[in-house]
Amino acid sequence: MVKSMTGYGIAKGQVGGLVVTVEIRSLNSKFLEMNLRLPGVYRDKELELRSDLGKQLDRGKADVNISFENNDLAKRSTVNKETFAAYVDELKALCKEFQLSEVNLFDTILKMPAVLNADKAEVDEQQWVQLKALVNQAMTHFNSFREAEGKVLENEICGRVEAISNAIPLLEKFEQARIDAVRAKLQKGLLEIKESNLIDQNRFEQELIYYIEKLDITEEKVRLKSHCDYFMQTIAMPEANGKKLGFITQEIGREVNTIGAKANDAVMQRTVVEMKDELEKLKEQLANVL
């Protein structure tokens, strides 16, 4: 089964009486790159959450955002009145001394050290269970998106591999004609110098056989067909096999390149070029397979 590395999932619900939104999105990447954003109150649960998400995301550049519509759960702040009053007296005196405006004095004081006392709200286990349920709900939607995208990719990928496999019989149509042309060319050259009596006919036949064997692509065709069949078997497996499919594609590419190097025929070379074109498109699509 093919699953796309591109995915999106969102879930919205209540945790401890507050509305929480969990959003997961990912793009393709060779490895897992996770950017997790969540309220500070859950920082002690971050490692646990990263571990759970990592097992399900597997690969891809993923952004996971957990946000509250009301920030009171994450942070509650109180004003230290004594410190605030001290800053007011001191800054007003400075403004008077240096003839500065007091328009933004209030906002300035609130940003001064020790003016605000931030108390981290505590979250009980029940709220954590509710949050994890929302994360799982978003992940379910995320995986459904990946599977839907994967089906589209699978159809295209299988079409590319079938095109490469179907091109093998096309090569066979011109293979014998190519060998006959090489034999005729060598024999013509032999006739031109035969009168010199310097030609060893047995040795010539041996060299001819050796030369034709060097042009033979039977083994490459068999291996190429085998790799294409193995690819189709692997893509039909229930688990995601993006990396394995990539390795098989490399083997397909090696055989196609070897056939191209041995072809020595314009018509066969055109078929090889078409195979390489399908191969490049296949690689591009596999880059987004989980």
As beta bridge partners, residue 63 has 25, 35
Banded model confidence at residue 137, pLDDT cuts 50, 70, 90: very high
The mean pLDDT of 184-191, rounded to a whole number, is 71
Rounded CA-CA distance 78/76 in Å is 7
What would you measure as the largest C-alpha separation in the chain, in angstroms? 119
Residue 147 scores a pLDDT above 70: yes
Give the CATH architecture of domain 7-73+124-146.
2-Layer Sandwich (3.30)
Closest C-alpha to 21, from 13, 29, 30, 32? 13
Nearest partner of 245 among 166, 171, 168, 160, judged by Cα: 160
Among 61-75, 143-157, 159-173, the range scoring the smallest mean pLDDT is: 61-75
Asked if the model's pLDDT at residue 183 lies above 60, the reply is yes
As a whole number, mean pLDDT of residues 91-112 equals 81
Rounded Cα distance between 179 and 213, Å, is: 10
**The pair of three-digit structure tokens given for residue 5, joined into one six-digit string:** 């590395």
Q: Is the pLDDT of residue 273 over 80?
A: yes
Average pLDDT over residues 154-160: 93
Query: Looking at residues 114-132, what average pLDDT do you find?
Result: 72
Quick one: 86 exposed, middle or buried, by C-beta within 10 A (0-12, 13-18, 19+)?
middle
What are the domain boundaries of the chain?
7-73+124-146, 76-119, 148-286
